[in-house]
Structure formats: structure tokens, C-alpha cells
Structure 1
């Protein structure tokens, strides 16, 4: 399957059978930023307001997750969060990083949490923003999640569908999203390789659905990784109640509910996000 050429600041890193496009900035302890799973998403577009601020203190690693951007369009549908977690672990190996902080939004948050559960020795601290996989079998999907999962169904991808999803579901103030961002994400979403193999779709089968519900993972109650959960109070994709559910289960989990903010805390409230994340990741691990 084809992989686009990386931009000037990106490079392709071979991870198993896949190529992962990576951008790096800064120096210090490694912080890996994992983006969400919306149509046309990529690492640098999701963290455009955060990379430079975090790079003042850390070595910031920003991959395009498998299935997105300029990375290979290969994802294991039977266990997507586990597959992404394995890909991130393989990327750490390829970059010579023994242990890293993980920061994940939505789909990337689920991958970060899964890696911390599978291999806690590789994760120093976690910052999760509206992570996926929190109670996914306990309630009907939100309207925002339904629109996300249906983007490639029916008539297929359209700019109108994408604009509605971003302005109505992803953010609190839809008017704040520039038209250029929507157009760029739309163009990325109609890449022929992506259309042929959409990276995020409705789970097929009960077993896959159960694997994607991370609240069912009994390891949460034993998770020793210090964790900060930032959840937009107006999140219309993943329910904000998921933050409390994580805080109740994880013994070292702090929760910050962000007012007048939707699913993109890092994009909608960058100053708050950058300050809280830098402070949290800078603490001694104890």
C-alpha cells in the first residue's frame, strides 16, 4: 500500500511491516503526542498549538498513527487499540526510547492507555484528553461518534459531512475552526488508500467491541502510571462522564474538567493545556 512522501520536517520510520511518519522537535525527556481518529487527522494538525510550547522542555515526538497522514494504511481491525499500542511501542524501539511520556487525544488516548496497561515499564506518565474506549459498550454512541463512524459509509466522504462533524461535534465554538483546516482534512480524508481502508469504522463483532471498552480492563485498578485526564465539559464525541469513571478506577489519576470546551482540549484551550501538561510531566515520578 502506498505511502506519501514525508514533508521536509517529517521522516519515515520503519516499524514492523509499516512505515510511520514522525516529526521531532526539542530535547529532554521524550513526550509522544498521539492524535485522534477523525477523518483527515494527523499528528501535527492535531497538535499545531502545542508542539513548540512542549519542545521548550521535552523531546517531542509526533507520529501520524497507522492509517493516517503519511503513515502506512494498515490497522488490525480485530484489536485496533492493541495494534496501535504495539505500533507506538515499536516506534519507541526504533527511536531508541526506553521510556516516554504519552499524550493522547481520543483514538490516540485509547492507544496510549492501552500501551500503559500492556507495557507500564515503557510509559512514565500519561495525559489523556477525551480518550476513546471508555464505556463504549455501556451506552448508545453519542451523535458525534455516530457521525465519525459513518463518515465513509453511505454516500462516502463529503466536505459537508466533515465540516459538520468538526464544527458541530469536535469543538465548542465551531466558528473558531478555519476553513483552511477543514479543507486540508477533507483532502486528506479522500486519499484513495484511506477510502479503500478507512482507519476508524464501526467495530465488527462483539469481541472487537469488548476489546475496545477499556473500562472493562481489570488492570485499570492496578495501573501505577501517574495519569492526568483533561476532558472538555462540552465534549459531544466521548462523554465527559468518562473522566470520572477513569479517576474512580485508576489509583494515580487526576481529573481536570475544562469548561466551554469540546473534544479538542489541546486545540481549543492550548495555553491551559500546555501549562498543565508541562507541569504534570515535569514532576518527579513517585
Structure 2
């Protein structure tokens, strides 16, 4: 279960409303990806998805896990998809919630994505900047508890993280460099994929869902009304039910 890339993100906090339901049927691996939480800091600026996917492959190797389902939100969805493209034999089914790296060349970056990439720039991180970003993650910002905001802010100002932020756009970097819709391998990825997207996602464009299922030969798409970037959090009960049903299906 791979978390998103917002400031202060961690595996357990990203999936706090899903762990109890999913753990009844599956062994869950919920890492802090490199650059976040308790993990080592520093992520490749030129190939962040590939760097993270390589780290997650090493994690599976270290745990002796030969094959696993992959659930990923935002940056975690991009990591899961890249892992499947690079090593399809190591991934079974994929559940992708508003994954990054899809339709990044359609127009200018969304306001939510710009806030994410600029969080550590200028005057540096602040509670106000984090609140503005978190407000863009969900359809109804008032649902975000202050405890979650404070927890993520404290994680975001860890000195090691500030010294080497996981997501910043370096000079000369173009979002098209990490756009999956330009990867010809999508058409040959036969793993079953469930794409979940909030219709009101202000970070990654919902059009990405249609782009993915047009290119993936074995993918389904579910759009959620009145839902933002955090499908697994905003629509937890529905997410848990549909994910468990999808993972339980037999492959053809």
C-alpha cells in the first residue's frame, strides 16, 4: 500500500481508514516510501517514479515476497504502475487512486500539484502552506481534522526532509518526462487494474482515468462524485468494499 507524495505523507496516515478492513483478508505492507516518514531521504529528480519503484522492489526482495498486489494513491499509484511496467511478474493486481504521471502534458499543472511542488520553495514549509495544499486534496476541507494537519506538518519539517525534499521540480525538468501515457508498455500490461478517481480531484486530473483505461488492456475505471484526491479516505467504506471485491476476483 503506497502513499501519496504530499508534504508529511506516511503510509499509515494515508490509509488510516482502510487498514482494519483490508487486514482481515490480506497481509499488508505499508511502507514510508523513500523521502518520507522514517525512510531514507532523497529521491531522484530526473526519474522519481523509477527510483521509488526500484526501492519497493528491493523491499519485496528483502521480505522474500515474490508477488504482491499493489495499491497506490497519487505518487504511490505512479510508483505501483511503474513497478508493474518494469517487473510485471512481481505484481498481481493493481488498485490506482488518482495516480500521478497521467495526462501531465494536457495543460498547465493543476493548482494542487503546483502547491505540492512549491511547498519547500520560497519561504519554505509552513502550516499555512500545508493547509492550503491539504484543502485541495479533498472535496470538503472541513472534514480534515486538525490533528492530521498538525501531524503532517511536523513530519514535513523534519530537518532531513527539508534538506532533501522528495518532490521538487528541478530546473529543466518537464512533466512530460514522467507522463505514463507516452509509455508504449501500457498496451502490453495485462495485469488486472482498478482505477479509482475523484471527479473533483484538484491535484491530478480525472481525465487521467479515461486515458489509462484506453491504453491498459485489462483495466476498469470508477469515478466518485463529490470526491477529491483522497478516494481511500473520503469514500473509505466504498473504497474498502470495491477493493476487496476486486482483489478477490480470479484472473482469467
Length-normalised TM-score, structure 1:
0.86
Q: Is residue 177 of structure 2 the alignment partner of residue 196 of structure 1?
A: no
More helix by share: 2
Question: Any gaps of 5 or more consecutive residues in structure 2?
Answer: none
Q: Which residue is equivalent to 1:164? A: 132
The equivalent of 2:67 in structure 1 is 99
2:33 aligned partner: 65
Q: Deviations over 1:35-64 (max 9, x none)?
A: 000000000000000011101000111000
Q: 1:121 to 1:159 in 2, by over 3 A?
A: same
Are 2:244 and 1:268 aligned? Answer: no
Count of aligned positions? 252
CA shift in 2, pair 1:233/1:201, >3 Å: same
List per-residue Cα deviations over 1:216-244 (Å, max 9, x = no partner): 00011111010000000100000001000
Q: Which residue of 2 aligns with 1:136?
A: 104
- Distance in 1 (CA, whole Å) between partners of 2:28 and 2:249 is 17
Ranges in structure 1 where 5+ consecutive residues have no aligned partner: 1-32
TM-score, normalized by length of structure 2?
0.98
Runs of 4+ in structure 1 over 4 Å off: none
**Residue equivalent to 2:56:** 88
CA drift of 1:96 comes to 0.7
RCO greater where, 1 or 2, for CA within 8 Å and sep 6 or more?
2
Which aligned pairs between 1:19-168 and structure 2 lie closer than 5 A? Answer: 33-167=1-135
Conserved 8 A contact 1:127-1:230: yes
CA-to-aligned-CA distance 1:180-215 (integer Å, 9 cap, x gap): 100010010000111110001124434x64431111
Two-structure CA RMSD over aligned residues (Å): 1.0
Partner residue, 1:219 = 185
Q: Secondary structure at the match of 1:245?
A: helix
Query: Which structure: greater strand fraction?
Result: 1
Distance 1:78 1:214 in 2: 15
